[in-house]
Structure 1
Amino acid sequence: MAEATRLILLVEDDPDHELLTIRALKKSNIANEVRVARDGEEAIASLFGPDAVRPQLVLLDLKLPKVEGLEVLRRIREDDTTRMLPVVVLTSSDEERDVVRSYKLGVNSYIRKPVNFTDFAEATRQLGMYWLVLNECPPMS
């Protein structure tokens, strides 16, 4: 079983959004290592495969190839080893049903990606400050 780390698992299939997120985290002085899964299958393998990681935070896009983000979230919440892992949906989806389904599946927070970089960087800074500095995470089993 993997040890909990200060790692951020970024689940994002859009290379531009990946770069913007990493850039915004660095600009906000969030020094955590960021591991990227570029589809839902990679995310599941990162969390449950032979080289599984236990990140401090999962930033999860919903619209993913292979396995959609909501299915990744469902898998995280149904497993005892990851059930309490903080998961923040960070998506461009503005569909109410995605918000509702995410919360029904146990997401900790749902954030729509702002369109311009300045707003995106500020949202990422606040997200990082809260989830990586202020929030007290439960111990991972």
Structure 2
Amino acid sequence: MPNSGRARIPGSILLVDDDAGDRLLIQNILKSCNSELGLHYVEDGEEALSFLKQQGAYADAPRPHLVLLDLNLPRKDGSEVLAEIRADPDLAGLPVIILSTSSAPSDIRKSYSLHANAFVSKPGDLNQLRQAIQNLYAFWFGTARLPGP
């Protein structure tokens, strides 16, 4: 994504996805948007909550500006993670984007009922995925105002 004359905004994202290939693709796309972006990832729902609550191995983890959350996760699925984030007063205001291979209307409805900020279905095509991630980055780090970590 070209830098359209705007200063690159520092920020950080927690990517919660158990698919190593998807994580690597998304990481590379985000780094092409902003090489200074703090990008952290975990592979399951339990780790996501530990990271966000700065518990155990994640005691020194930074608070991200944005969470990209897959629905189909081991140990605790994305819907359960989202519900716990929204129930925690320290995390409730954290923007959470569902980024899932699902496009099922029931998953979309459930995610929004749990107060996801957006639901994005991962496109199967690499160029479409690149465009979707670049659009997410441009909106959340260029247009929207995010709370500090």
TM-score by length of 2: 0.86
Match of 1:86 in 2: 95
- Aligned sequence identity (%): 38
Match of 2:106 in 1: 97
Listed as ranges, the gaps of 5+ residues in structure 1 are none
Listed as ranges, the gaps of 5+ residues in structure 2 are 1-9
CA displacement 1:17-37 (0-9 Å, x = unmatched):
001101111223363111101
Match of 1:29 among 27, 31, 34: 34
Is contact 1:7–1:35 with CA below 8 Å preserved after alignment?
Answer: yes
Match of 2:144 in 1: 135
Is contact 1:13–1:39 with CA below 8 Å preserved after alignment?
Answer: yes
Matched residue type, 2:20: P
Is contact 1:56–1:132 with CA below 8 Å preserved after alignment?
Answer: no
Q: For the pair shown, which has the larger CA radius of gyration, 1 or 2?
A: 2
3-state SS of the aligned residue for 1:88?
Answer: strand
**C-alpha distance in 1 between matches for 2:69 and 2:35:** 18
Match of 1:72 in 2: 81
CA displacement 1:95-127 (0-9 Å, x = unmatched):
111100100000000000011111101110010
Match of 1:41 in 2: 46
**C-alpha distance in 2 between matches for 1:17 and 1:87:** 18
CA displacement 1:55-91 (0-9 Å, x = unmatched):
1000000000000000000011011111110000000
**C-alpha distance in 2 between matches for 1:117 and 1:22:** 13
- Number of residue pairs matched? 136
TM-score by length of 1: 0.90
Between the two structures, name the one with larger relative contact order (CA 8 Å, sep ≥ 6).
1
